[in-house]
Structure 1
Amino acid sequence: MPPKGPEPAPPGRTRRADASRNAALLLAAARELIAGSGPDVALDEVARRAGVGNATLYRHFPTRADLLVAVYADEVVELCRQGAGLLTDPSPADALFSWLDAFVVHVATKRPLALTATEGPTGRRSALFDQWHTSIRATASDLLERAQDAGAVRPELTVADMLALVGGAALTGTDVAHARRLTALLRGGMETGTGI
């Protein structure tokens, strides 16, 4: 009996790989277009930019809200991933303020997307918004606690204080550069001057 060759791929495996690739292409195209034009971007343009048909877009993201949620979810995951990566930085203070800089840019540039992706029919934010906020808050808390343990940041500073201050800078800054400058100025009020 001749040696047995490799087992054929189960039916649908290639399709799943193609589906994953198409979803990634759609998300990348949507992210790029939203960054340039805002969340009201035409879905036909997203499909065209991704190089797929409209039917493929609607198969992955049946509504505009589904697409916006997926794009914003990726943004939150990336922000939290940056924070997790900074937990090994030799300077806990620099790690915290590096992440706060990324956070202020996130809020200043992604807020319209976040609000559009999470507004319910009643005008109230969806549970997704709360989940994303919880993830961001946990990341901020880990970085803050590490900086406080090193004596680098004022011990009475809470994560709610810190995010309110930096979020305020993001919302009141005249542009992203101004929001980042305001956040850098806030560092002086948060640090102890005695830590690492």
Structure 2
Amino acid sequence: MAGAVERRPLRADAQRNYERILAAAEQAFAQQGASVSFEEIARRAKVGSATLHRRFSSRRELLEAVFHSRVEALCARAGEHAEASEPGAALVAWLGDLSEYATASRGLTAILLGGPDADLLEHDDGCTAKITATADELLTRAQHAGAVAPDVRAEDLLALVSAISLAAQERDGGLAARLLEIVIGGIRRCGAAPPVP
């Protein structure tokens, strides 16, 4: 990938620290937002602040690392849906996956999808591009199958999922699914795409 920095494999203890930092950071970002302090993340990861700063020189770099594994998993799920379902159903199922993760992360994914703190990701290791390309591929297949209106854009869908995740914060668990179902109803043609599971 252009711009990616090659890193040497980590020693076993350094790899454990790295994984603990990522897990702690994801949890802290989801609970307290992208501005949570490095000290809080280090405390949760049970590593020294210097260890965290050595591994991640900036908040952007840490956010990018947290997003990378999630984005890979979401893109893989898109492929599974595309193989298992008709194009319209595959798009709906993947938007459900994305919305579920975005809502569970309490707005963290809104940064990735262009929310108010999106400028925290300057060089997002291609994460935003991967999510957009995945959405576009599923959407194009659904449009060619006649399941989705031709004027819908992938960026529109991602912005709507981002808005849904922000609106559903601190609300009952079913709100995000209900809002996504309304969105799906608005983009489909003649009921061609099934409701959100």
Using the size of structure 1 for normalisation, the TM-score is 0.70
For this pair of structures, how many residues does the alignment match?
179
User: Is residue 61 of structure 2 the alignment partner of residue 61 of structure 1?
Assistant: no
User: Is residue 186 of structure 2 the alignment partner of residue 180 of structure 1?
Assistant: no
Gaps of 5+ in 1: 1-11
- Cα distance per residue 1:63-113 (max 9 Å; x no partner): 333223322333333332322332212233222112112333455522565
> Do the aligned partners of 1:104 and 1:166 also contact (CA within 8 Å) in 2?
yes
> Do the aligned partners of 1:34 and 1:41 also contact (CA within 8 Å) in 2?
yes
Match of 2:3 in 1: none
Bigger Rg over Cα: 1
1:22 offset after TM fit, Å?
1.7
Match of 1:75 in 2: 70
> Do the aligned partners of 1:39 and 1:112 also contact (CA within 8 Å) in 2?
no
Residues 62 and 194 of structure 1, relative CA distance in 2, 3 Å threshold? closer
Residues 172 and 138 of structure 1, relative CA distance in 2, 3 Å threshold? same
1:186 offset after TM fit, Å?
2.2
> Do the aligned partners of 2:21 and 2:41 also contact (CA within 8 Å) in 1?
yes
> Do the aligned partners of 1:68 and 1:117 also contact (CA within 8 Å) in 2?
no
Greater share of helix? 1
User: Is residue 33 of structure 2 the alignment partner of residue 38 of structure 1?
Assistant: yes
Residues 101 and 168 of structure 1, relative CA distance in 2, 3 Å threshold? same
Residues 39 and 170 of structure 1, relative CA distance in 2, 3 Å threshold? closer
Identity of aligned residues (%): 36
Residues 65 and 158 of structure 1, relative CA distance in 2, 3 Å threshold? closer
Residues 151 and 33 of structure 1, relative CA distance in 2, 3 Å threshold? same
1:27 offset after TM fit, Å?
0.1
Match of 1:110 in 2: 108
Cα distance in structure 1, aligned partners of 2:50 and 2:20? 14
- Cα distance per residue 1:128-148 (max 9 Å; x no partner): 39x433211110111122223
Cα distance in structure 2, aligned partners of 1:110 and 1:65? 13
Q: What is the one-letter code of the residue matched to 1:31?
A: E
Gaps of 5+ in 2: 1-7
Q: What is the one-letter code of the residue matched to 2:122?
A: S
Match of 1:190 in 2: 187
